[in-house]
Amino acid sequence: MTEPKANPEKGAQVYAADRAHVFHSWSAQAQIKPMTIAGAQGSYFWDYDGNTYLDFSCQLVFTNIGHQHPKVVKAIQEQAAVLTTIAPQHANDARNEAAKRIVELAGSKFNKVFFTAAGADAVENAIRMARLHTGKSKVLSTYRSYHGNTGASINATGDPRRFPNEFATGHVHFWGPYLYRSAFWASDEAQECKRALEHLEQTIIFEGPKTIAAIIIESVPGTAGVLTPPPGYLDGLRALCDKYEIMWIADEVMAGFGRTGKWFAYQHCNSLPDLIVFAKGITSGYVPLGGVVISEAIAKTFDDRVFPGGLTYSGHPLACATAVATVDAMKDEKMVENAAHIGETILGPGLRELAKKHKVIGDIRGNGVFWGIDMVTDRATREPLAPYGGTSPAMNELVAECKKNGLMPFNNFNRIHIAPPCNISEADARKGLEILDKSLAVVAKYYTGA
């Protein structure tokens, strides 16, 4: 790894320029103090003060191959020398190659990809395709979800970021499975699955099957808590979609491209969706790219009918060349297999051991390099360590302690999410758990239960 060198003067300049000119997302601008990042490599990044962080967040869960992978950086440089950009109405080799690789990973039902710039506009266009294909308008999605910050995608989102942005129409929310905080009074996974599917079917019936175009669901809800669905749930969702002629849109933006130990998280079930939305891991975030993988049946709808959607940067050759290099590197270096191995042998067992030691851990769940930790003040009542939609001094203290000890976690409300790169080493995975163990000690004082 490149040895980081402290340069606090430069850091101060970067910070001052940021505060003077940059408007940050999801923030009250006067209340934030962003880190100033000087560099990154592999599973680490560092600031201008020389502090190095083990990246257990993959930033916003997108650097699936780690930072500055040399093969992918080289591919970006080579593509820039050949064809940096071209309008989307023209064919280009990089886009063709990226599309081929993606449909090969998705399965035989899929042959075509519509490329977007990110996950939110992928969701937007997938919803549009489903509505036009079915001639129906409503879209169902879960309360515990995040699908992006454009018109339809933010309305499909369940979390509180939706509240000030509800301008799109035709969106209905339902409860997805989440055994630890079950909406169905379930006592085990089988019961949670059965009752969650019964609830979904009742929602479909009472909303009117002939009005519902699509159900969009994150194959593993990420920001909402890494809510791995119980066995049978996605297969049951497929059966309901078939029964009522509804399209299943699998949101794989966060869970896809190796994150759960499979290329796509829906591949943990036996069924295929009708549309797949992706972004983040397809390029490891090196160049922005998203898209929709389209089933043959939906693609045929637009053989002789104009699809009323497009983007200036759809299939951008620099981004698509990055996708090709990313997929190839993941295959060549068996990163998906490594993610599964790390989850099964290190992160899963290690997190369960931490739960035995630290009472503030209420629940552990996940697969591969995608894990969620529910933090509580009382295991009996399951009172969260921070309220829904907010934070707390306890969670702030825990995250600050992790950073102080050299670990960058992904946190949301009362949860810590563990999402290191798919190619993280065994040693670094263990190191991250050791830092988390040490950091959890500072919030033991907030535990009030027995």
Q: What is the pLDDT of residues 278-324, one digit of tens each?
A: 999 999 999 999 999 999 999 999 999 999 999 999 999 999 999 99
pLDDT over threshold 80, residue 351: yes
Output the average pLDDT for the chain: 97
Which pLDDT score, from 0 to 100, does residue 342 have? 98
Specify the DSSP class assigned to residue 231.
Answer: T
For residue 350, what pLDDT band results from cuts at 50, 70 and 90? very high
Q: What's the pLDDT tens digit per position in 21-63?
A: 999 999 999 999 999 999 999 999 999 999 999 999 999 999 9
End-to-end CA distance of the chain: 45
Residue with tokens 């697969």: 367
Per-residue pLDDT at 163: 93
Q: Average pLDDT in the 398-418 region?
A: 97
Confidence category of residue 5, pLDDT binned at 50, 70, 90: confident
**DSSP element (H, E) containing 248:** strand 247-251
3-state secondary structure of 185: coil
Is 8-68+334-446 a CATH 3.40.50.620 domain? no
Ordered by start, the domain boundaries in the chain are 8-68+334-446, 70-332
What are the pLDDT digits (tens) for 210-260?
A: 999 999 999 999 999 999 999 999 999 999 999 999 999 999 999 999 999
Predicted pLDDT of residue 370: 98
pLDDT digits (tens, 9 = 90+) for 161-199: 999 999 999 999 999 999 999 999 999 999 999 999 999
Mean local confidence (pLDDT), 66-92: 98
Burial of 388 (0-12, 13-18, 19+ CB in 10 A): exposed
| Collapsed DSSP state (helix, strand, coil) of residue 176 | coil
Helix axes 189-207, 233-244, angle to 10 degrees: 20
Which pLDDT does position 141 carry in this prediction? 98
pLDDT, mean of residues 194-209: 98
According to DSSP H, which parts of 175-269 are helical?
Answer: 189-207, 233-244
Residue type for position 122? A
pTM over 0.95: yes
Torsion of CA 288, 40, 371, 322, to 10 degrees: 30
Instruction: Name the DSSP letter for residue 265.
Output: G
pLDDT of 1 above 80: no
- Whole-angstrom distance, CA of residue 143 vs CA of residue 168: 16
Per-residue pLDDT, averaged over 71-75, amounts to 98
Instruction: Kindly report the CATH number that applies to the domain delimited by 70-332.
Output: 3.40.640.10
Query: Cα–Cα distance between 441 and 13 in angstroms, integer?
Result: 35
* Amino acid 4: pLDDT: 84
pLDDT score recorded for residue 22: 97
So what's the pLDDT on residue 3?
A: 75
The residue assigned the tokens 């998906």 is 336
Residue 129: pLDDT over 80 = yes
Taking CB atoms within 8 Å and a gap of at least 24, the contacts of 383-391 are: 383/448, 384/413, 384/414, 385/360, 385/414, 385/443, 385/446, 386/413, 386/414, 387/413, 387/414, 388/160, 388/413, 389/159, 389/160, 389/413
* Cβ atoms of residues 326 and 333 within 8 Å: no
